[in-house]
Structure 1
Amino acid sequence: MVRYIYADKFFLDGTVTGPGFLKIKDGRFGDFSKEMPDKAAEVIDYTGHWIAPGLVDTHIHGFRNHDIMDCDFEGLNQISEGLLSCGVTSFLPTTLTSSTEALNTIVEMIGTHYTKVRGAKIKGIFLEGPFFTEKHKGAQNTKYFCDPSIEKLKTWQKQSKQLVRKIAIAPERKGAAEFIEYAASEEIAVALAHSDATYEQAQHAVEKGAIIFVHTFNGMSPLHHREPGMAGAAINLKDVFAEIICDGHHVHPAAANILMNARGRDQTLLVTDCMMAGGMPEGNYQLGEFPVEVKDGAARIAGGSLAGSILQLKDAVKNVVEWGIATPEEAIYMASTAPAKSIGMEGECGKIATGYGADFIVLTPDLGLMATYLDGVCRYQVQKEGVR
């Protein structure tokens, strides 16, 4: 089956163009044309709208009152379906620090059932912990902190059917260098997080193969002019990616702009770190084993520390544009292509390019989400006006 999408603007791989027609055949993207190539084919008309690649959230713990740590497939499916309303078409279910046994069970559940979810596609698992240090623990349970273990990672890979795509560690822990080398050799993206590492320790981890800094500025040793710390490493080191949570609570817009300017918007990742309260009213929730209060747009544990977020990725895109620190093209790239590249999945998702699965979103010129498509099929729609 061949159809064409007509819109005013298209954010294609490496270029922005339009108006024109984007071919979709058998659930995959075809060529883009300024003129309609086939007068007899069906056209879905999005006049006045923009077409962008489906967003890729590589750091998300939950949504719509479900948590990955619940280890429940129906909850995982509800997260997957709910993410379509956020413009997300691919994601990494993200765990928290927990016991080895609990993580064994969770990754096995995801590895067994991940192809059955009916919404956003699961592209792997992100293990956030348990190899962290206490000073910048955030909402991670210190009871389970330990040194990196290659054997544990091997078990998680086996239990998940090789689905672990990303793992975060504190680089100052004993055995970190050997662990990073092993994980990188297995094509697992090693991320650095919840750490009091020096700049040199972070640099050494990157030299061994670490490639991502997790929620930059949060949960890490800060930038100081005599000890640049993890934050300084995230800003200054070459050929790495830096996550950032742009909800207006985790990081000041000026700090986000500093990171983007230094790191480059092609190596900055918009993530949500969203927990189960995403898409829900304010109130009391859980993040793993911790009770969390969501109030005034932020999620906090007792004592006031931030506990993930309730951010939706479509809103992170909109925020950085409204803050004046990114163009729409840059913002969309930071939430789609860049995250896919950071986990080695740029060949599968995060782009509008010939042959890729037709996962895309329809936006208004002010970056409001109108619709989300998976494999060329509309799976979420705000309204039907303008579509025929």
Structure 2
Amino acid sequence: MEQIIKAKYIVLENEVLEDHYLVIEDGKFKQTTDHIPENSQVIDYGDAYISAGLVDTHIHGYKNADVMDADAEAIQTIANGIVENGVTSWLPTTLTASVEQLDAACQVIGENADKITGAKIQGIFLEGPYFTEKYKGAQNKDYMSDPSIEQLLKWQELANGLVKKIAIAPERQGVKEFIKVAKENGIYVALGHSDATYHQAALAVQDGANIFVHTFNGMRGIHHREPGMVGAALNLKDVYAEVIADGFHVHPAAIELIVKSRGTDETALVTDCMRAGGMPDGRSTLGEFEVMVQDGMARLVSDGNLAGSILKMIDGVKNMVNWGIVSLPDALRMASLNPAKSVGIDDICGKIEAGYAADFIVVTPNAELVVTYIDGEMKYQKDEKQAK
């Protein structure tokens, strides 16, 4: 069955089409065209933008559910909830935790990923446990260690091959061999929660790491005589810099510095959202820690550290535009194409291209989400929040 969708603009990988139609057939993108047969049935969204569905490669939870609950129902809750934020693909993200807890999370996702509806699980992101205590953030230092190839391969086995990304601190012992084995097993290596020097980060990138986790947060800062992890994130070639664009984690001027350094094609928006996302202010948890959510921020009760975020991906897009950092099309690509490219899933999601699943969103010129489609079916419409 063929569907025809129209909006003022269609955001593609390398261009923005004006006054074109998006043709969908059997749940997949068929073509974009400036001409359709007369009397065709068209869904017209007026002066809006059509974009590929957003791709969140760093998200822990939503709607009081968390990936570390190691429960299929919790994963389903998150997958359903984030569709309201324009997300159509995601990497369920774990925390630094015991080996047993991480085993359980990987196994639950591995056994249930193909049964989960809503936003599509495109892999797993293991955020830790191979981090450095000094920049632990809201991660539990008791479970941090040097990287273990044996553990990684076990998690990949339990996950039925779904582990797509793992974050490590590059100053840990055994990093070179670990990165090599990870890459051989289709796992992208990110760097974060680290006190590494610029040189240590550069060596890890040379060995194959390609992503910096929530740039500026949880890493050695920049200094003119020791550029550190931040300097590496800004200056090294062919890497992606994640950024949490909620206005709390990173000042807009620092985000602008990231974009000026990395360009609009190597800056990737993420949410780092935890279970309090989509919930009222108040008490919550992140892993084993108590969290207080107030005024848009999630902070540890124990020491006041930021504890992930409650950011909605579409709001990150909106902030990038409202702060005057990038255009709306670029912000949309930073939240869809770039995250997908960073973990090698841009062959199945992150852009509007013939043959891809028709996962897309429609937003107003002010970056307000109008509707989310998955496989050509409307799954969310603003002010009509029941998924169809």
Smaller-chain TM-score range?
Answer: over 0.9
Contact 2:13 2:333 (8 Å CA) reproduced: no
State the shift of 1:383 in Å.
Answer: 4.3
Report the counterpart of residue 145 of structure 1 in structure 2.
144
- Is residue 311 of structure 1 aligned with residue 311 of structure 2? yes
- Aligned residue type for 1:151: E
Return the alpha-carbon distance in structure 2 between the equivalents of residues 222 and 116 of structure 1. 42
Report the counterpart of residue 330 of structure 2 in structure 1.
330
Return the alpha-carbon distance in structure 2 between the equivalents of residues 81 and 115 of structure 1. 14
* CA-to-aligned-CA distance 1:109-164 (integer Å, 9 cap, x gap): 00100111111000000000100110000010011011100000010010000100
Contact 1:84 1:372 (8 Å CA) reproduced: yes
Return the alpha-carbon distance in structure 2 between the equivalents of residues 364 and 19 of structure 1. 15
1:207-246 equivalent positions in 2, closer than 5 A = 207-246=206-245
- Aligned residue type for 1:209: G
Return the alpha-carbon distance in structure 1 between the equivalents of residues 269 and 188 of structure 2. 16
Contact 2:28 2:376 (8 Å CA) reproduced: yes
Return the alpha-carbon distance in structure 2 between the equivalents of residues 383 and 221 of structure 1. 43
Q: What secondary structure, in the 3-state scheme, does the structure 1 residue paired with 2:218 have?
A: coil
1:118-267 equivalent positions in 2, closer than 5 A = 118-267=117-266
Contact 2:63 2:77 (8 Å CA) reproduced: yes
* CA-to-aligned-CA distance 1:58-78 (integer Å, 9 cap, x gap): 000000111111111111101
Contact 1:359 1:376 (8 Å CA) reproduced: yes
Q: What secondary structure, in the 3-state scheme, does the structure 2 residue paired with 1:18 have?
A: strand
Scaled by the length of structure 2, the TM-score of the pair is 0.97
Report the counterpart of residue 55 of structure 1 in structure 2.
54
Most deviating of 252-261 and 182-191:
182-191
Contact 1:3 1:41 (8 Å CA) reproduced: no
Return the alpha-carbon distance in structure 2 between the equivalents of residues 259 and 7 of structure 1. 31
Report the counterpart of residue 284 of structure 1 in structure 2.
283
* CA-to-aligned-CA distance 1:42-94 (integer Å, 9 cap, x gap): 32121222111100000000001111111111111010000100000000000
Report the counterpart of residue 369 of structure 2 in structure 1.
369
Q: What secondary structure, in the 3-state scheme, does the structure 2 residue paired with 1:350 have?
A: coil
Report the counterpart of residue 352 of structure 1 in structure 2.
352
Contact 1:57 1:272 (8 Å CA) reproduced: yes
Contact 1:147 1:174 (8 Å CA) reproduced: yes
- Aligned residue type for 1:326: V
Q: What secondary structure, in the 3-state scheme, does the structure 2 residue paired with 1:8 have?
A: strand
1:100-119 equivalent positions in 2, closer than 5 A = 100-119=99-118
* CA-to-aligned-CA distance 1:253-296 (integer Å, 9 cap, x gap): 00000011011110011000000010111100000111100011
Report the counterpart of residue 19 of structure 1 in structure 2.
19
Return the alpha-carbon distance in structure 1 between the equivalents of residues 40 and 358 of structure 2. 17
- Aligned residue type for 1:194: H
- Is residue 381 of structure 1 aligned with residue 378 of structure 2? no
Amino-acid identity (%): 56
Return the alpha-carbon distance in structure 2 between the equivalents of residues 41 and 65 of structure 1. 44
Contact 1:71 1:109 (8 Å CA) reproduced: yes
Return the alpha-carbon distance in structure 1 between the equivalents of residues 182 and 45 of structure 2. 44
Scaled by the length of structure 1, the TM-score of the pair is 0.97
Return the alpha-carbon distance in structure 2 between the equivalents of residues 12 and 202 of structure 1. 33
The root-mean-square deviation of aligned C-alpha atoms, in Å, is 0.9
Return the alpha-carbon distance in structure 2 between the equivalents of residues 136 and 14 of structure 1. 37
Mind listing any 5+ residue stretches in structure 1 that lack a counterpart?
none
Contact 1:66 1:79 (8 Å CA) reproduced: yes
Report the counterpart of residue 9 of structure 1 in structure 2.
9
Aligned length: 383
Return the alpha-carbon distance in structure 2 between the equivalents of residues 159 and 118 of structure 1. 21
